[in-house]
Amino acid sequence: MMGEAKRNSTAADNYLDYAMKTMKENEEFLHRNADETYGEVIDLINDAIDLVGFAVEREKSKEDYVKRSMVFFLHHILMPSSYAIHTDLLIGNLPACFTELRLMLESMAKCYLADLKYPKQSFFGRNSNCY
């Protein structure tokens, strides 16, 4: 049993070493050939961090977290998706980058409209007559 776990651990370590090597090579490639694009991805992450920080530092941040769809978007869509785009870019999964961008855009539009059209409604769900 212990030998099997050790063998699986080695295989996992080998895979992670390979993935990290590939990510480092891809990062070097991006700096050489698409530095502006890579910078935009990093800027997206930094913008997400700044926006979440702004939302958290607000006086009514706890209340806004429950009542505002855009705050939900910042915490649960923008932040994780911006990190996912960076990781997907480094591992070479370009189709996923575009999928993440589309998810972010469509979610932002839906959350913005929910806050705009239903500002007094504090819950948006399947039975809330919001969609």
Q: For 14-68, write each residue's pLDDT tens digit.
A: 999 999 999 999 999 999 999 999 999 999 999 999 999 988 888 887 777 777 8
d(CA 20, CA 24) in angstroms, rounded, equals 6
At 43, which amino acid appears?
D
d(CA 77, CA 5) in angstroms, rounded, equals 36
- Give pairs for 56-62: CB < 8 Å, separation 24+: none
Matching residue, tokens 């700044």:
50
**What beta strand segments (E) does the chain contain?**
none
What does the domain layout of the chain look like in residue ranges? Answer: 11-117
More confident residue, 83 or 10: 83
Query: Residue 92: CB partners within 8 Å, gap ≥ 6?
Result: 22, 26
- For the question of whether the overall pTM of this predicted structure is more than 0.85, the answer is no
Q: For 59-79, write each residue's pLDDT tens digit.
A: 887 777 777 889 889 999 999
Query: Residue 44: CB partners within 8 Å, gap ≥ 6?
Result: 82, 85
Helices (H) and strands (E) in the chain, counts: 6, 0
Q: How far is CA 69 from the centre of its chain?
A: 16
